[in-house]
Amino acid sequence: MKSSQNFTSNFLKSLQTNLIKMKKDIEGKVSRLKKNDPFIKEYKQDGFRNVDALEEEVADLDEHKETNAILFDLRKTIKDINDTLVRIRNGKYGVCEECSSKINSKRLLAYPTAKYCILCEKKFEKKV
Distance CA 59, CA 65 (A): 10
Q: How far is the CB of 101 from Zn ion (least distance, A)?
A: 5
CB of 19 to Zn ion, least distance (A): 21
String of contacts with Zn ion for each residue 88-127, x by CB under 5 A: --------x-xx-----------------x--x-------
CB of 78: closest distance to Zn ion in angstroms?
Answer: 24
Distances (CA, A) of 32 to 27, 71, 107: 9, 10, 31
- Of 77, 71, 74, the residue nearest 111 (C-alpha): 77
| Amino acid at position 57, single letter | E
Question: Residue 69 interacts with Zn ion (CB under 5 A)?
Answer: no
